[in-house]
Amino acid sequence: MNSLTTKESTMSQLPLSTTAESAPPRPRPGGGFFTIYVLAYLGAYVGIMGPGILALYTRLTELFPPAGEGVTSVGALAIVSAAGAIAAALANPFIGRLSDRTTSRFGMRRPWIVVSALVFALGLLIVTFGPAELTTIAIGWTVSQIGCNGLLAVYTAVLPDQVPERHRGTVAAWLGVAMNVAALPAVWLVGLFAAGTVTFDDAGAVIGGEPGSPWRFLAPLVVALLTAAALFFALTPYDRHLAKSEVTPYSLRDFFGSFVFDPRKSPDFAWAWISRFFFMLGIAYLLVYQTPYSQLHLGFEGPELDAVVLWGTLVMVIGSVITGYASGKLSDVFRRRKVFVVTSALIYAVSLLFLVFAAPDHSGLPMALVGLFIGGLAQGVYFGVDLALATDVLPDKDADAAKDLGVFNIASAAPQFVAPFIAPFFLGLTWLGQQPGMNFAALFLFAALFSAVGALLVMPIRRVR
Q: At what angle do helices 302-334 and 338-357 cross, to 10 degrees?
A: 160
The Cα–Cα gap between 421 and 413 comes to 13
CA distance 226 to 239: 19
pLDDT score at 395:
79
What pLDDT does 145 receive? 94
Task: Give CA–CA dist 313/168, Å, rounded.
Answer: 27
DSSP per-residue string spanning 350-394: HHHHHHHHS-SSGGGHHHHHHHHHHHHHHHHHHHHHHHHHHHHT-
Domain boundaries, the chain: 29-241+262-456
pTM for the structure as a whole: 0.72
Q: What one-character-per-residue DSSP string does 74-143 give?
A: HHHHHHHHHHHHHHHHHHHHHHHHHHHT---TT-SSHHHHHHHHHHHHHHHHHHHHS-SSHHHHHHHHHH
- Distant-in-sequence, close-in-space partners of 201: CB < 8 Å, separation ≥ 6: 207
The pLDDT value given to residue 210: 59
Side chain identity, residue 173: A
User: Residue 344 in contact with residue 378, Cβ under 8 Å?
Assistant: yes
Query: At what angle are helices 365-392 and 338-357 packed, to 10 degrees?
Result: 160
Q: Block means of pLDDT (10 residues each) for the chain, length 465 residues?
A: 35 36 62 92 94 84 78 86 88 85 91 97 94 94 95 90 80 83 86 54 46 82 96 93 80 68 84 93 89 90 84 90 82 83 94 94 94 94 83 75 76 82 86 76 94 93 80
CA dist., res. 358 & res. 450, Å (int): 20
Q: Give the C-alpha separation, 20 to 240, whole Å.
A: 10
Q: 373-382 burial, b for 16+ CB within 10 Å, e for fewer? A: bbbbbbbbbb
Q: What is the pLDDT of residue 11?
A: 32
Q: CA 202: distance to chain centroid?
A: 34
Q: Which of 341, 347, 350, 284 is nearest to 461 (CA)?
A: 341
CA distance 198 to 202: 13
Query: Of 34, 42, 33, which Cα lies nearest the Cα of 234?
Result: 33
Q: Rounded to an integer, what distance in angstroms lies between the CA atom of residue 124 and that of residue 130?
A: 9
Three-state SS letters, 206-270: ECCCCCCCCHHHHHHHHHHHHHHHHHHHHCCCCCCCCCHHHCCCCCHHHHHHCCCCCCCCCHHHH
Using an 8 Å Cβ cutoff, are 352 and 375 in contact? yes
435 burial level (CB within 10 Å; 0-12, 13-18, 19+): middle
Neighbours of 222 (CB within 10 A): 15
Closest CA to 54 of 338, 354, 288: 288
CATH topology of domain 29-241+262-456: Growth Hormone; Chain: A; (1.20.1250)
pLDDT for the residue 332: 78
